[in-house]
């Protein structure tokens, strides 16, 4: 059993990242639900969609929720419900982070959280001539 992974982002960002990660890895990542935050939807429906996604992937080993922007509506909603679920949120999702997480799905939640952060940081570099 793997740690469950859920992506919660603004608009189609999460879907695009998941699709590209699947392309790089050479497989469809169908077991990672994406919640596309809708600004026009009410708050409760957003919370319900996130909870439903968490329940879908919860195998008892914990949940890793990846969000795009700390302090934004998607991460604020996730933060409200994490306490009642065995989950961790990592903000600042990028393609490097997502690929690393997908490659280490069998790790425990604590280690997978570290891998997510390391993968995200390692994907950010400055190149200058």
Q: Where are the domains of the chain?
A: 4-122
CATH architecture label of 4-122: 3-Layer(aba) Sandwich (3.40)
At residue 75, does pLDDT exceed 90? yes
pLDDT in tens, 20-67: 999 999 999 999 999 998 877 788 888 999 999 999 999 999 999 999
At residue 90, does pLDDT exceed 90? yes
Q: How far apart are CA 91 and CA 109, in angstroms?
A: 15
Token pair in block for residue 8: 């919660």
At residue 123, does pLDDT exceed 90? yes
Return the pLDDT at 51: 95
How many CB atoms are located within 10 Å of the residue 60 CB? 8
Q: How far apart are CA 64 and CA 87, in angstroms?
A: 6
List, as one string, the DSSP characters of 43-89.
Answer: HHHHHHHHHHHHHHH--SS-EEEEESSTTSHHHHHHHHHHTTTTEEE
Give 87's pLDDT tier (boundaries 50, 70, 90): very high
């Amino acid at each position: 059993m793997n740690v469950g992974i859920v992506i919660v982002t603004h608009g189609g960002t999460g879907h695009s990242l998941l699709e590209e990660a699947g392309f790089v890895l050479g497989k469809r990542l169908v077991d990672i639900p994406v919640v596309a935050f809708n600004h026009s939807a009410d708050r409760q429906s957003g919370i319900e969609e996130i909870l439903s996604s968490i329940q879908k992937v919860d195998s008892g080993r914990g949940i890793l929720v990846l969000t795009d922007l700390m302090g934004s509506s998607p991460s604020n909603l996730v933060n409200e419900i994490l306490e009642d679920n065995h989950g961790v949120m990592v903000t600042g999702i990028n393609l490097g982070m997502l690929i690393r997480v997908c490659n280490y799905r069998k790790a425990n939640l604590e280690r997978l959280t570290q891998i997510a952060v390391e993968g995200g940081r390692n994907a950010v570099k400055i190149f200058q001539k």
